[in-house]
Copies of this chain bind each other. A is one copy, B any other.
Amino acid sequence: MIVDCHGHFTSAPKVLQQWRHNQLESKGLVYGRPVQIGDREIRDALEPRQLLEQRTRGLDLTLFSPIAGQMGHHLGTPEKSHEWSVICNDLIGRVCALYPTNFAGVCQLPQSPGQDLRRSVNELERCVVELGFVGCNLNPDPSGGYWTEPPLTDRVYYPLYEKMCELDVPAMIHVSSSCNPCFHHTGAHYLNADTTAFMQLLLKPGLFRDFPTLKLIIPHGGGAVPYHWGRYRGLADMLGKPPLAEHVMRNVYFDTCVYHQPGIDLLFKVIEHDNLLFGSEMVGAVRGL
């Protein structure tokens, strides 16, 4: 069975984006309206895209989450971030109910700059227990490119990690869009976040001592990390941290979203195969050559 660990509902009906636009424009604490998407529209959005690609490429199951670039945790109020997450996650839940053998749900978390993770803990629990989801996407920079929140190893994240361990589900570390003109989202912000997250984890071995069963997936082939594996091995040594194999790499996985063969070859040469998860980011952020 071939599982693709990294898929987003990038082909979601446009009415979803319109709903978000209206929500952000609305004056109330929340928007309070449902999104009107029928089963037919969900099928039409998936059949010619993700499902066709799944079949064509011989994949069995995709771990499927809302569009990462539209999580937009830096937009609107914490309440609207929560409402938006519920809308998006429920839609993923319907996808999984319509195609239970093709998709397993991964939820967006209602993060918001400067907020604790209480809402995220509750939404994760709701998605896993009620909707049967198998993981979540955790945004290491809810500010959208200004990196104003603490590192992933900060105790503010601990309630979420406790819940993840209790439910036995992993998180993919995945930023959303960038509102910082320095960072193109898929060309810089995504890869920077992957690299940044790995280094945060390397610096604080205490995290995985506190949560020995915590599982984190760093997407896009680990950002810059495997290419610079010697740098990280050297830094771990120089900074007096445990060797990577005995520390970070007991709890961290990289996906294979590296879009050319030399990169894939390097990934498989450098990283233990037990730490690699097949992922295609399909239908992905880069749809060119």
Q: Which A positions have Cβ atoms within 8 angstroms of B? A: 140-141, 145-151, 180-184, 186-188, 191-192, 195-196, 199-200, 202-203, 220-221, 223-224, 226-238, 258-260, 262-263, 265-266, 269-270, 286-289
Please tell me if the beta carbons of A228 and B191 are within 8 angstroms of each other in the complex: yes
12 contacts between A and B (CB under 8 A): A145-B147, A183-B199, A186-B235, A187-B235, A191-B195, A191-B228, A224-B227, A228-B259, A228-B263, A238-B287, A238-B288, A260-B270
Please tell me if the beta carbons of A182 and B227 are within 8 angstroms of each other in the complex: no
Q: Which of B182, B259, B270 contacts A200 (CB 8 A)?
A: B182
Please tell me if the beta carbons of B228 and A199 are within 8 angstroms of each other in the complex: no
Q: Besides A191-B224, A195-B195, A235-B288, 16 other CB < 8 A contacts?
A: A145-B147, A146-B147, A150-B182, A182-B196, A187-B202, A187-B231, A224-B224, A226-B227, A227-B263, A228-B259, A229-B260, A230-B260, A231-B258, A231-B259, A233-B260, A238-B288
Closest to A259 in B: B230
Q: Which of B188, B195, B260 contacts A188 (CB 8 A)?
A: B195
Please tell me if the beta carbons of B146 and A231 are within 8 angstroms of each other in the complex: no
Closest to A183 in B: B196
Interface of A is mostly: helix
Please tell me if the beta carbons of B184 and A203 are within 8 angstroms of each other in the complex: yes
Closest to A145 in B: B147
Cβ of A204 to closest chain B Cβ, rounded Å: 11
Cβ of A75 to closest chain B Cβ, rounded Å: 19
Closest to A182 in B: B147
Roughly how many angstroms separate A223 CA and B235 CA in the complex, as a whole number? 16
The interface residues of chain B lying within 8 Å CB-to-CB of A238 are: 286-288
The interface residues of chain B lying within 8 Å CB-to-CB of A260 are: 228-231, 233, 270
Roughly how many angstroms separate A163 CA and B182 CA in the complex, as a whole number? 23
Q: Which 5 pairs across A and B sit closest by C-beta, in order of nearness? A: A230-B260, A230-B259, A237-B288, A224-B224, A234-B288
The interface residues of chain B lying within 8 Å CB-to-CB of A230 are: 258-260, 263, 286, 289
The interface residues of chain B lying within 8 Å CB-to-CB of A195 are: 188, 191-192, 195, 224
Cβ of A142 to closest chain B Cβ, rounded Å: 12
